[in-house]
Amino acid sequence: MVRALRSAAHVPGAEAPYDTVHLTVRYPALAPRDDVERMSGRLAADTAAAPYPVVVLVPGVNVAAESYRWLAVRLVEAGFVVVGYDWVGELFPGEHGLTPGVDITACGPDHYGERPTTHALRPVLEAVSRLADAGPLAGLLDLDSVGLVGHSAGGTVALQSAAPAWFPEVRAVVTYGAHTMASQMLGYPPSTLLPAPVQAPVLLVAGTDDGVVAASAIRYGERAGAAGHDPIERTWAEALPATTEAWLVRLAGAGHMLAAHPDDPSTARGFLETPTDADQDRLRDTFAHVVTTFLHAQLRGDTAAKGRLEHLAEHPEPEIADIRRR
């Protein structure tokens, strides 16, 4: 069974009322054993695969954590404890919405590289560590083995923040539809690609039909569809340290919002997508399979999972248009 705990964390430096992150922590649970558990719904954790690595789902802008529940459940079933969070905070000066916690100042050319580009990650991890001290998850978490799975802007800040000096516990980073191209609105020259300090193994996943990334080319002083405008491939090839293990996977017919299901059409920028006839359920299955395999290999040191990754690179599933490692 998969069960959820709820918690909250204060974000230092954020102004009230926009200074609280709300967490949903999903974990593998046992069936109710007595009337107390049946009546409260608070079920004991299944300890069979403990200690559990922790996976934090870092959301895209204006995408609710609930949109990633399908992926959280798949990850819990694969043997991880999974944390999602919602933070209504500042997106831009005077504008608020659901945010992965982007620190605009830290993203700018005067301060990039000085600190993480998200305010949210440390408070979220500290809140999870408190859950490891009491309640059903007490003593069951491996807080030194953390994976980040970021979507869109959430993937960008994950790549930009997972430096070992800031987050030594992060052992793997997965992104979907994310890159480190720098917006001209922040003061960067056109076509600037920011270096990502992440040294843990990285898996970059992208859809071949990502309308949001294509439409965003104007932000970086480029033209959508122009030769050479592939910010995700550039991030994989150029932005990561040469010593970082990095995988690039493209899903055939997938768009930007594949990771968010069901997609809420009243928020985010899914309206920029052009529907394809690809089977989206099968694409999500493939995405979840690749992600869980990668995280097993990196967070649990699973040699069989490492072998499955190598086999996948040599014999990709039909939904995989391209898979590479550097």
CATH number of the domain that 225 lies in? 3.40.50.1820
What type of residue sits at position 304?
A
Cβ neighbours for 64, distance < 8 A, ≥ 6 positions apart: 86, 98, 264, 267
Residues facing 102 on adjacent strands: 118
pLDDT at site 227: 73
pLDDT at site 198: 98
Distance CA 241, CA 121 (A): 22
Tokens of 248: 């690039």
Residues of the chain with pLDDT under 50: none
SS3 letters for the chain? CEEEEEEEEECCCCCCCCCEEEEEEEEEECCCCCHHHHHHCCCCECCCCCCEEEEEEECCCCCCHHHHHHHHHHHHHCCCEEEEEECEEEEECCEEEECCCECHHHHCCCCCCCCCCECCHHHHHHHHHHHCCCCCCCCCEEEEEEEEEEECHHHHHHHHHCCCCCCCCEEEEEEECCCCECCHHHCCCCCCECCCCCCCCEEEEEECCCHHHHHHHHHHCCCCCCCCCCHHHHHHHHHCCCCCCEEEEEECCCCHHHHCCCCCCCCCCHHHCCCCCCCHHHHHHHHHHHHHHHHHHHHCCCHHHHHHHHHHHHCCCCCEEEEEEC
Determine the straight-line distance between the first and last CA of the chain, rounded to whole angstroms: 37
Q: How many domains does the chain have?
A: 1
Return the sign of the alpha-carbon dihedral for residues 21, 26, 30, 35.
Answer: positive
pLDDT at site 174: 99
Owning domain of residue 121: 2-325
Task: Work out the number of other CB atoms within 10 angstroms of the CB of residue 110.
Answer: 9
pLDDT at site 37: 87
The 10s digit of each residue's pLDDT in 148-173 is 999 999 999 999 999 999 999 999 99
Distance CA 194, CA 197 (A): 10
